[in-house]
Amino acid sequence: MSSSCPPYAQTRRHVTADARARRGFIAGALALAVATPSLLSRPVQAQPADPIRVGFVGAMSGQSAKSGEAITRGLQLAIDEINARGGVLGRRLALVIRDDESNPARGQTAARELIQNEKVSVIFGGIDTPVAMAIVPIANKERVPYVGTWAAGTFITRNGANPNFVFRVSAVDEIVGRALVNHAVKAFSAKAPGLMLINNPWGESNEKGLGMALSASNVKAAGVEKFEERDIDMTPQLQRLRAAGADALFLVANATPGAQMMRSLERMNWKVPVISHWGISGGRFPELAGRLYPTVEFVQTYSFFGPQNEVGKRFIEAARKRYPDLKDVGDMIPPVGYANAFDAMHLTALAITAAGSSEGDAIRQGFYKIGKHQGLIKAYANPFTPASHDALTENDYVMVRYKGDDIVPVSVK
């Protein structure tokens, strides 16, 4: 007879051993808990929410790079303020920048990349109307709000889409036309102004806007001339306008072609008032335009010269601290880039807050829910409605000129 234990005894012994092992594990765990209570009793730290990413597509290189720099700085200064207050919906804002090189195709690529790869909730736009017009259909199709901070083409916001995801804190060519014509008549008694327009959609938008404004003022244009971005001599166009009796010139161009037009005027020795759109302030106009550049008077939405409201004072102080190259207000060039972008970012944050979401269509509707906001440019009150996606009006413009490299109101001597 075997002396080994019966099968049931082996099973019992194994179960008893397993039970002892489990009891030992539990006791060890309890001892660990007693010895190191902080490991188990410490509350789990909440992980910070992912930031709300916002994109910017603008000219960060080339002749208009100064505009891109100003806009990104204005956006970032607003983001700094918003994040210091706790962000939006408990989340920080983060800016993602893409260079469009002032090229519509490059702008489209950048916008798609920001939407598809970077998952931005909003895209801010830069200086060029052709680039903005190329991005508008993408924004509306992808249902991502696009907020213009500079490009003034009328049809950027009035694009016919329903729903329309495009908003703007900037000038509108149709309204700028009235401001330019009023200034030409009042300041220079113009009776037959000539139009010098860049040959692209921005020029076309201004041809229409200026034409409407001239008609409303019972002023007839001496003629309309156009030129290309890379033209270096506009003498033939200017000669035709002088022969037609032009007593003032409306200029619509960015800095480089605008400077070439001024060089052509200098060569012709034609001393005629030049009233310009703000594109000339986005680059190296004072450096390139020759000795006549201080005579040009042009439109902006803000000036850092003169008395400032509380937002302006705060902005200037913050800008100097963040960007050491800004020694004084004259270094904030172009002011329109800083000011428009700063207000646009704050209004967008309010729209996201009103929406209670970082989702595109909710933000679009959130823009309509913005009430009052004291901005840099002005005190806003219900700045956007389904019928109007432009926050600024003709009452928000100021005429300026160059004084050295500074951009100052025309009243500043």
- Identify the helix (H) or strand (E) that includes residue 172: none
Distance CA 166, CA 344 (A): 12
Q: What is the DSSP letter of 117?
A: T
Among 157-161, 280-284, 320-324, where is mean pLDDT lowest?
280-284
| Complete DSSP assignment for 341-364 | HHHHHHHHHHHHHHHTS-SHHHHH
pLDDT at 386 over 50: yes
pLDDT at 347 over 60: yes
Task: From residue 84, give the alpha-carbon distance in Å to each of 52, 223, 310, 370, 374.
Answer: 15, 53, 18, 21, 18
Strands 398-403 and 406-409: antiparallel
Number of independent structural domains in the chain:
2
pTM assigned to the model:
0.80
Average pLDDT over residues 70-86: 98
Question: Contact, 258 vs 276, CB < 8 A?
Answer: yes
Q: How distant is the alpha carbon of residue 381 from its chain centre?
A: 20
The confidence score (pLDDT) of residue 13 equals 38
Closest alpha carbon to 124 in 402, 114, 116, 255 = 114
**Are residues 283 and 319 part of one domain?**
no
Asked whether the bond before 130 is cis by omega within 30 degrees of 0, the reply is no
**Are residues 196 and 152 part of one domain?**
no
Domain-embedded: residue 43: no
Domain-embedded: residue 24: no
Residue 351 banded pLDDT, cuts 50, 70, 90: very high
Q: pLDDT digit string (tens) for 224-241? A: 999 998 899 999 999 999
Average pLDDT over residues 47-58: 88
**Are residues 291 and 363 part of one domain?**
no
Asked whether the bond before 307 is cis by omega within 30 degrees of 0, the reply is no
The confidence score (pLDDT) of residue 32 equals 36
Supply the CATH number for residue 238's domain: 3.40.50.2300
The confidence score (pLDDT) of residue 48 equals 60
Question: Contact, 253 vs 271, CB < 8 A?
Answer: no
**Are residues 186 and 254 part of one domain?**
yes
Residue type, 369: K
Among 59-63, 279-283, 301-305, where is mean pLDDT lowest?
279-283
**Are residues 127 and 209 part of one domain?**
no
- Identify the helix (H) or strand (E) that includes residue 256: helix 255-268
Q: Give the residue numbers spanning the domain of 294.
A: 174-300
Closest alpha carbon to 318 in 88, 66, 84 = 84
Closest alpha carbon to 384 in 398, 403, 405, 370 = 370
Which one has a higher pLDDT value, 400 or 35?
400
- Record the tokens describing residue 14, joined without a space: 């194994």
Which one has a higher pLDDT value, 85 or 22?
85
The confidence score (pLDDT) of residue 341 equals 98
Domain-embedded: residue 404: no
Q: How many helices (H) and strands (E) does the chain have?
A: 14, 14
The confidence score (pLDDT) of residue 278 equals 87
The confidence score (pLDDT) of residue 283 equals 78
pLDDT at 196 over 90: yes
The confidence score (pLDDT) of residue 17 equals 41
pLDDT at 346 over 70: yes
Residue type, 226: K
Domain boundary among 278, 300, 322: 300
Among 6-10, 163-167, 263-267, 350-354, where is mean pLDDT lowest?
6-10
pLDDT at 39 over 70: no
**Are residues 343 and 322 part of one domain?**
yes
* Residue where the block lists tokens 């200098």: 266
Distance CA 247, CA 345 (A): 41
Torsion, Cα of 155, 161, 166, 169 (10° steps): 40
Looking at the DSSP bridge assignments, the partners of residue 52 are 93
Domain-embedded: residue 129: yes
**Are residues 70 and 158 part of one domain?**
yes
Residue 313 banded pLDDT, cuts 50, 70, 90: very high
pLDDT at 204 over 80: yes
The confidence score (pLDDT) of residue 405 equals 83
Signed CA dihedral, 326, 169, 172, 157: sign only: positive
DSSP H helices in 356-394:
360-367
Q: pLDDT digit string (tens) for 144-185? A: 999 999 999 999 999 999 999 999 999 998 899 999 999 999
Average pLDDT over residues 208-218: 94
Signed CA dihedral, 373, 166, 275, 219: sign only: negative
- Record the tokens describing residue 226, joined without a space: 């156009």
Domain-embedded: residue 239: yes
The confidence score (pLDDT) of residue 279 equals 87
**Are residues 235 and 164 part of one domain?**
no
pLDDT at 19 over 90: no
Question: Contact, 114 vs 145, CB < 8 A?
Answer: no
Domain boundary among 241, 273, 300: 300
**Are residues 202 and 166 part of one domain?**
no
Mutual angle of helices 310-322 and 335-355, in 10-degree steps: 110
**Are residues 185 and 147 part of one domain?**
no
pLDDT at 247 over 70: yes
What percent of the chain is predicted at pLDDT more than 70?
A: 88
Average pLDDT over residues 380-408: 93
Domain-embedded: residue 17: no
Signed CA dihedral, 242, 248, 250, 255: sign only: positive
Mean pLDDT of the chain: 88
**Are residues 295 and 181 part of one domain?**
yes
Domain-embedded: residue 30: no
Closest alpha carbon to 184 in 245, 237, 243, 249 = 249
Domain boundary among 271, 300, 329: 300
**Are residues 208 and 245 part of one domain?**
yes
pLDDT at 6 over 90: no
The confidence score (pLDDT) of residue 284 equals 85
Domain-embedded: residue 67: yes
Asked whether the bond before 163 is cis by omega within 30 degrees of 0, the reply is yes
- Identify the helix (H) or strand (E) that includes residue 7: helix 7-35
- Residue 267: CB atoms within 10 Å: 13
